[in-house]
Amino acid sequence: MPKNSKVTQREQSHEHVTESVADLLAHEEPLDYKNSSLNVRGAAGKKVPQIEVPENDGRPAWNSKLQYILAQVGFSVGLGNVWRFPYLCQKNGGGAYLVPYFILLLIIGIPLFFLELAVGQKIRRGSIGVWNYVCPRLGGIGMSSLMVCGFVGLYYNVIIGWSIFYFFQSFQFPLPWSDCPIRRNGTLAIVEPECGKSSATTYFWYRQTLNTTSTIAESGGLNVKMTLSLFVAWIIVCLAVIKGIASSGKVMYFSSLFPYVVLFCFLVRGLMLKGSVDGIAHMFTPKLEKMLEPQVWREAATQVFFALGLGFGGVIAFSSYNKIDNNCHFDAVLVSFINFFTSILATLVVFAVLGFKANVMNEKCVEENAEKIVGYLNTNVLSHDLIPPHVNFANISTSDYTELYGVIKAVKEGSFSQLGLEPCLLEDELNKAVQGTGLAFIAFTEAMTHFPASPFWSVMFFFMLINLGLGSMIGTMTGITTPVLDTYKVQKELFTVCCCIFAFLCGLLFVQRSGNYFVTMFDDYSAGLPLTVVVILENLSVAWIYGTKRFMQDLEDMLGFRPHMIYFYLWKYVSPFCLIVLISATVIEMAIIPPGYNAWVQELAQERFQSYPPWALAMCFSLITVAMLPLPVVFIARHFNLMSDGSNKLSVSYRKTMMKDMSNLEEQDEAKFILGAKPGEVPSSGPAKRAFLTPGENKPLDPNSLSPNSCYGTSYQNAAISPTTPTTPTTPATPESDS
């Protein structure tokens, strides 16, 4: 900077300087309306200049675009793709369910995912900083998002701990859940009654793994095996995120890609199994009448919502480490479709394996009932004349048994029920819908016991679950650490370690013998409603407060092209409407369906629905309240100026760009810096007003809409104005009108 420039002279002077508006604006480059980056259109035929961001602004960055995409894929593709989507597909009409899911992915999923990617990349902050910047009064959005991440992370890592336990148990042959344990009473050996009434895999899950109690009120003490598994899970997560994206980015290369290797291996192996085609055909046989049911659309919207990880803060955090000119629109579409096709792939795998299992169980049913019929024939309860001549009981087929069953039922119509024969229909086995832990730790494990080389496939399956969970946990932890590290200057490694230790101690709630019931509680109440509220407020704050047109212009400045106009209407009207309907449906469902959980009753060896006791019910609604509490608290506190609005905490790149502009100032006529005025003109005594063109219009925006008192986070404009400087009062901005 020249030594005789006005800026340098003022820095070297020891006299008290009362800065005027003109002095402040002298720090900025001359503003050319036509070429300004704040001009929407720019000069006719000229490209709008891009925002210049220093390459080294002190913020970590992804090593490559591939690393970033894998991180977003790893976060969005999780356990729900494997054990939730296939269940919803089977429950809601098979192939017909894919239609509402795909439609809602296009009108809700991709636009909102794009929105989160864009705000994170533009402002380059975590969730707290982003929403403080967009609208300080709605800064509680980021805090609520962080709270939800905390709740979800607590129980999600418990599921990873379960997978770790099963992973190590898989290194033995035969698998420990392949047969029921034998209880010896002297010389008499009998099957464990609880296992005999259920199945070997069910018994291993509820008794030998969880050792669960019969009610949530019975703690039963800590389960040592699960406590150690949880400890290992938190060590893995801590090591993955301790260095931020420098460590988690490298982990994502494996944790994001390995599940696809396993899924393809399972698909190939599954298609070679007997009955796999039956399962896939059952899965994709469309029941078109289901598409007319509102419940199907509500569940499809919920699955789209959670499949992409909207509202958790992880999407924003990952995107904030991008270059500002990264094509986040391409990223949003790519990751959304990868997520969708992963769900389809997982569904094919699940139902290929479950089709095989259904055939095995159906053959077992036929054998058991054929033995009953032979017994009735030997005791003359049934006549040999009823048996068709081609039926061979030594090797009876499913079709032969179905024919025999029909004959006996027709002849013994009055006393048929006393015979205790079952129809043994393959369709009944395929219709047994399972989801969640029931699919992963019971149904799928039972199917794998019938695989050749079953330990190998079991190791692969649970290692895949660990990696799927790890990818989601890295995104969840990043959604916690990034906004805190952006807001408060704390050591990254120390804060990460403290978070993991604290989370492990809180997670002991889930590894007591009744811990499985608390996992269900947190899964049902800690994320659903609060996260939906968070996302709709994100949508409204950008589309209706910040302004959709202004946001579209920001995107054009970042991307170098203007996104399709359909996003304007989706963000402003369609997505808010759909989210309001989803919230209403969620509240109605919570009001109609009594809160409860499925408890494992040891005496009956089966699950039974039980209502939550009063203290547990209070805990359920406390989770919702605590997660949403920052929203009204921050709004009220900032409305009455009880806390800083946080809007002056600009992104590092934004501040660096401003300082770079100041350092390039040279001695020029001071009036030239004021709105590009000609030398010699006398500036007005009030604050300078700039004109900004709205998209597709020639009318300038009201400059007061960029007031620091408004919800646009631009308080840097008058941050340095001396108290002695006369200023014209500004009024808070009203939400932008797009009419």
Bind-site residues for Na(+)? 74, 77, 81, 339, 468, 472
What is the band of 720 on the pLDDT scale with cuts at 50, 70, 90?
very low
In this structure, what DSSP letter does residue 731 have?
Answer: -
The mean pLDDT value for 699-721 works out to 39
What is the band of 629 on the pLDDT scale with cuts at 50, 70, 90?
very high
The mean pLDDT value for 658-670 works out to 39
Question: Residue 701: which H helix or E strand, with range?
Answer: strand 700-701
Instruction: For residue 57, give every residue at least 6 positions away whose Cβ sits within 8 Å of its Cβ, in sequence order, or none.
Output: 652, 653, 656
Question: Which pLDDT value is given to residue 435?
Answer: 61
Per the rule left: phi > 0, alpha: psi between -120 and 50, beta: everything else, 45 is: left
- What's the whole-number average pLDDT of the chain? 77
With 60 as the cut, is the pLDDT of residue 27 above it?
no
Question: Which pLDDT value is given to residue 338?
Answer: 93
Question: Which pLDDT value is given to residue 601?
Answer: 86
Question: Which pLDDT value is given to residue 188?
Answer: 79
Summarize pLDDT for 79-102 with one digit per residue, the tens: 888 878 888 887 777 778 888 899
The mean pLDDT value for 571-582 works out to 90
Side chain identity at residue 36, one-letter code: S
Question: Which pLDDT value is given to residue 112?
Answer: 93
Side chain identity at residue 131, one-letter code: W
Q: In terms of pLDDT, which residue wins out, 437 or 499? A: 499
What is the band of 518 on the pLDDT scale with cuts at 50, 70, 90?
very high
What is the band of 167 on the pLDDT scale with cuts at 50, 70, 90?
very high
Confirm or reject CATH 1.10.357.10 for domain 65-357+436-644, answering yes or no. Answer: no
With 80 as the cut, is the pLDDT of residue 418 above it?
no
How many other C-beta atoms are found inside a 10 Å radius of the C-beta of residue 399?
Answer: 9
With 90 as the cut, is the pLDDT of residue 300 above it?
no
Q: In terms of pLDDT, which residue wins out, 558 or 648? A: 558
Question: Residue 83: which H helix or E strand, with range?
Answer: helix 79-83
Summarize pLDDT for 280-297 with one digit per residue, the tens: 888 777 777 777 788 888
Among 104-113, 238-247, 659-668, the least confident range: 659-668
The mean pLDDT value for 648-664 works out to 44
Summarize pLDDT for 447-482 with one digit per residue, the tens: 888 888 889 999 999 999 999 998 889 888 988 988
Question: Which pLDDT value is given to residue 201?
Answer: 86
The mean pLDDT value for 344-364 works out to 85
Half-sphere exposure of 194 toward its Cβ, with a 13 Å CA cutoff?
Answer: 18
Summarize pLDDT for 364-387 with one digit per residue, the tens: 888 888 888 888 888 877 777 777
**Contact call for residues 315 and 531 (beta carbons, < 8 A):** no
What is the band of 231 on the pLDDT scale with cuts at 50, 70, 90?
very high
With 60 as the cut, is the pLDDT of residue 7 above it?
no
Distance in angstroms (rounded) separating the CA atoms of residues 738 and 407? 73
Give the residues across from 720 on adjacent strands. Answer: none
Q: Spell out the domain ranges in the chain.
A: 65-357+436-644, 361-431
What is the band of 159 on the pLDDT scale with cuts at 50, 70, 90?
very high
In b/e form, how buried is each residue of 474-504, taking b as 16+ CB within 10 angstroms?
A: bbbbbbbbbbebbbeeeebeebbeebbeebb
How many other C-beta atoms are found inside a 10 Å radius of the C-beta of residue 417?
Answer: 10
Find tokens 């709270």 and name the residue.
Answer: 147
Question: Which pLDDT value is given to residue 716?
Answer: 32
The mean pLDDT value for 580-608 works out to 86
Most confident of 512-516, 600-604, 664-668: 512-516
What is the percent of the chain with per-residue pLDDT over 70, rounded to a whole number? 79
Distance in angstroms (rounded) separating the CA atoms of residues 128 and 485? 10
Side chain identity at residue 291, one-letter code: M
In b/e form, how buried is each residue of 516-553, taking b as 16+ CB within 10 angstroms?
A: bbbbbbbbbbbbbbbbbbbbbbbbbbbbbbbbbbbbbb
Among 51-65, 348-362, 645-659, 725-739, the least confident range: 725-739
The mean pLDDT value for 115-122 works out to 91
Bind-site residues? 74, 77, 81, 339, 468, 472
In this structure, what DSSP letter does residue 571 have?
Answer: I
Distance in angstroms (rounded) separating the CA atoms of residues 325 and 52? 9
What is the band of 335 on the pLDDT scale with cuts at 50, 70, 90?
very high
Question: Which pLDDT value is given to residue 708?
Answer: 35
**Contact call for residues 637 and 44 (beta carbons, < 8 A):** no
Half-sphere exposure of 580 toward its Cβ, with a 13 Å CA cutoff?
Answer: 8
With 50 as the cut, is the pLDDT of residue 342 above it?
yes
Question: Which pLDDT value is given to residue 703?
Answer: 39
The mean pLDDT value for 704-724 works out to 38
Q: In terms of pLDDT, which residue wins out, 668 or 500? A: 500
Among 169-178, 526-535, 724-733, the least confident range: 724-733
Q: Kindly tell me the sign of the dihedral angle through the C-alpha atoms of 718, 722, 724, 725.
A: negative
Question: Which pLDDT value is given to residue 593?
Answer: 84
Look at the pTM and tell me if it is higher than 0.85. no
Q: What is the DSSP string of 213-276?
A: -SSTT----B-HHHHHHHHHHHHHHHHHHTTTHHHHHHHHHHHTTHHHHHHHHHHHHHHTSTTH
